[in-house]
Amino acid sequence: MANPNTKIQMFGKFTWTIRNFSTLESEKLYSDTFSLNGHTWRLYIYPKGKKVMKCLSIYLNGGGVATLPHGWEKFANFKLILINQFDHENNKIKETSHTFNSKARSCGYASFIRLDELSGSSGGFIVNDTCIIEVDMLIHKPEHEKLVHQSTSFGEVVDFKGIGKLDKIFVPLLEEVCSRHPLLIHSMKKRSQRFSEWGFTALGRVLHFLKTKKVRDMDDESCNHLQTLWEELETFGFDLVWLKPHVQSALGMKTHVERVLEIERLKENLSTLEIETKTLRTKMIEAEVNLEIARRDLLKEGFEECNLDVELGYGIP
């Protein structure tokens, strides 16, 4: 059941098909990562059971392979489903809810299904040595205090225009944008000091990201991080029309970076081939010179080039 202090953000589904299940050697096996609500997620299992338990263990991990930003938190309802490939009405399903964060990023079941039931020929859970696991997720976004009260800290905090205490590293960036967009300050006049600190901290985090990241840094992890920072910032009610195009542009850089890197790779390949071509040309010239020298030496010795496959013969045609 959803937490009443949160609001639903997104529904997602991920299917993990595990082939050659009986030959798995790993004690612990991870799925590919998938993105939902600005973060990467993944499933993992203990195919032979966790510790001494004779059960398949299945977990949902909220951190993926990326480093989670400090203060990250997501509340989610989710179903873990072991697909019955003979009869979908008899899928093995367990459902729960969990608050994922940088400390408690995994949730699941150590004894999802007994291994003998899993591998039973009539069970339908492993067919053609293939096991299929699915997760259905309903993400909820916490209110402001759960989003940013543990905001990223870079060190010393200082007063910002009498609004509150903010990380010193954010202040020059905030002063610059607030001088150009004074409504940012005005929109927080009737808010509590705590709320204003959270709001400007969220804004500072986005500005700091855009200021310190380079185009080539915008991989999946950075895009997911920026998307999360932006979603949190939008909840504070700032007029962000001036900033949104820059964030959208940054989020769209991943494809551009990939294409530029591909061009750079092709250029490097071309350069390598040009060097190889020059080397081959040099070798070809050397071979032509050596051939001509050999021909001349042959003539000097009174021999001529001949067909080496002609019979030697013994005088009778």
**What CATH class is the domain 6-141?**
mainly beta
What secondary structure does DSSP assign to 90-116, as a single string? Answer: G-EEEEEEEEEESSS-EEEEEEEEEHH
Tell me, what's the pLDDT at 154?
54
Question: Tell me: the pLDDT tens digits for 64-79?
Answer: 655 555 566 778 889 9
Confidence of residue 308 (pLDDT cuts 50, 70, 90): confident
Q: Dump pLDDT digits (tens) for 44-55.
A: 999 998 876 789
For 155, residues 6+ apart whose C-beta sits below 8 A from its C-beta are: 167, 168, 169
Task: Give the residue from 115, 50, 102 showing the smallest Cα distance to 228.
Answer: 102
| Tokens standing for residue 77 | 């309802």
Show the DSSP H helices in the chain as ranges.
Answer: 115-119, 144-148, 171-180, 183-186, 193-212, 220-234, 244-251, 253-300
Q: Measure the CA–CA gap between 103 and 232, rounded to whole angstroms.
A: 20
**119-128 pLDDT tens trace:** 887 789 999 9
> Which two structure tokens, joined as six digits, stand for 44?
């993992």
How many beta carbons lie within 10 A of that of residue 47, not counting itself? 19
* C-alpha to C-alpha distance for 219 and 226, rounded to whole angstroms: 11
Q: Band of the pLDDT at 225, cuts 50, 70, 90?
A: confident
From CA 83, how far away is CA 92, in angstroms rounded?
A: 7
Give the pTM.
0.47
- φ and ψ of 163, to 5 deg: -80, -40
> Residue 141's pLDDT is what?
59
Q: The tokens 């010239």 sit on which residue?
A: 285
Residues 263 and 270: their CA atoms lie apart, in Å, by: 10
The better pLDDT of the pair 142, 133 is held by 133
Q: Give pLDDT, residue 150.
A: 42
What is the per-residue pLDDT for 71? 60
What pLDDT sits at residue 151?
Answer: 42
CA distance 92 to 90: 6
Q: How many CA atoms lie within 13 A of 213 on its CB side?
A: 23
Q: How many CB atoms lie within 10 A of CB 52?
A: 5
